[in-house]
Amino acid sequence: MTSEGLRTGRPRLEFLHGVRGLAALAIVLFHLTLNTGPESAGPIIRTLNVPLLHGYLAVPVFLVLSGFLLSMPVVTNGLTLRGGISGFMWRRSLRILPAYYAAYLLDMLFFVGMSWLFSLLGRSPGTHVQEQMTNGFRWPSVVAHLLLVQNTSVDWVSGMDAILWSIACEWQIYLLFAFALVPIWRRFGVWVTLAICTALAAALTEGYARGWCVYFLPWMIPIFGIGATGASIAYGQSPQARVMRRWPWGTIALTTGLMMVTGIALLDASVPLDTLRGRIPVPYYVTSLRVRWIYDMLAAVAAAAFIVWLTQDCERGERIGGTASRIRRLLESRWLQGLGLFSYSLYLTHGIVLVFMARATQFLWPHRLLHWAAMMIVGTLLSLTLAYVFHLCFERRFMDTATRDMFSRRIESPSDAAARAAEAHSRSSVD
């Protein structure tokens, strides 16, 4: 057994909530942009769309965050799951499943209402929406969504809300983490575990290429493992972890991020967006399934290095000054902390807004810039509003008390509190 997780206590890294909130918002903007017809947009919209159309990169960031956060207590608890496998899965079930099932039910009610409304008006809801309703209400699709295995079939994914595929993918990784990865980690160490994750992903990729597990995206397994490795580096007590904590993680994050951006830009430039008519109007790197894993992995490494960098800043207590501290204070701001609070609800429910906005703004389609502005501004505001209401009604009651209290208005942001305490200490020392 390796000695990687003997530090006691569970650290609180509030900046991670800001990262999660920004990642969820990036996904919303990405999906809204797809509904603006980016392949036929003018030069102004094309320029604005460049970063938005790459919001898909938030998916590997989410998986890194999950791997880091779920592995942090494992590392600090002697490489064991608190409460064992049953305790871990019970906590994950309470946190993930009630809100997921509520969102799925809300999707079904929304599509039933839309079908009734369009039937009443004597109009068609559109080919894409009709396909969603047809596929979504077939019993195999319903059962697959209830069992969180809808990501193994194109028909099941395209039924109802396709966005929910990633929840199924993450849930399956939770099972793998609890039943296999943690025991392997405890016996052989984190690097062997990461190697096994990579080998498993490589084997499943062949099945992915053959259409066996269409939306599973096998490389999400090692991406989750990269997040777990980041937790081991940040909080592990092995000699290797202590040495690696001294590495320049900010530089590593920046370098890896630049490699990713450069590679994606070159790949996208090889196939212009307007040549992808008739397909999903997304950058080529998203549709080039044979190479997309490279950039997702680079995004994961950059995200993990970024998290380790800011974690080390927390450990050193450098609350005032320095690039890491300034970035961390931004991520710990009340607005981003609040966004992180209901980011899961935002991810679960924004698909409804996408369908609604796509139909409600059809009359603006000839006016491309106005249509884009309406989709992006109104769609974002509606997504945030619906998500927050959904959070209050369903998600919040299944969050632990410590997480809810962290966002109380009575509590100032962590960095501001630390800065105030440091200033008071400085004054008392001078006096």
**Sign of the CA dihedral 40, 46, 50, 51?**
negative
Burial class (CB in 10 A: 0-12, 13-18, 19+), 425: exposed
Q: What's the pLDDT tens digit per position in 5-20?
A: 334 444 568 899 999 9
pTM here is: 0.85
Tell me the C-alpha distance between 248 and 259, whole Å: 17
- Look up residue 160 and give its amino acid: M
**Helix runs in 236-291, H state only:** 239-244, 249-270, 284-287
Q: Which two tokens stand for residue 242?
A: 């202590």
Any idea where the domains of the chain sit in the sequence? 15-430
Q: What's the pLDDT tens digit per position in 18-65?
A: 999 999 999 999 999 888 877 666 777 888 888 888 898 999 999 999
Tokens 């938030």 label which residue? 58
The pLDDT value given to residue 212 = 60
Specify the DSSP class assigned to residue 298. H
Q: What's the pLDDT tens digit per position in 123-170?
A: 766 666 777 777 778 888 889 999 999 888 877 887 777 888 899 999
Nearest alpha carbon to residue 368 among 47, 48, 52, 41: 41
**Sign of the CA dihedral 35, 40, 45, 50?**
positive
Q: Residues 6 or more apart from 265 whose CB is under 8 A from it?
A: none
- Look up residue 100 and give its amino acid: Y
Query: How far, CA to CA in Å, does 32 sit from each of 57, 211, 361?
Result: 15, 27, 12
Q: What's the pLDDT tens digit per position in 229-285?
A: 999 999 998 899 999 999 999 999 999 999 999 988 888 877 776 665 555 566 776
Tell me the C-alpha distance between 298 and 254, whole Å: 11
Give the CA diameter of the chain.
79
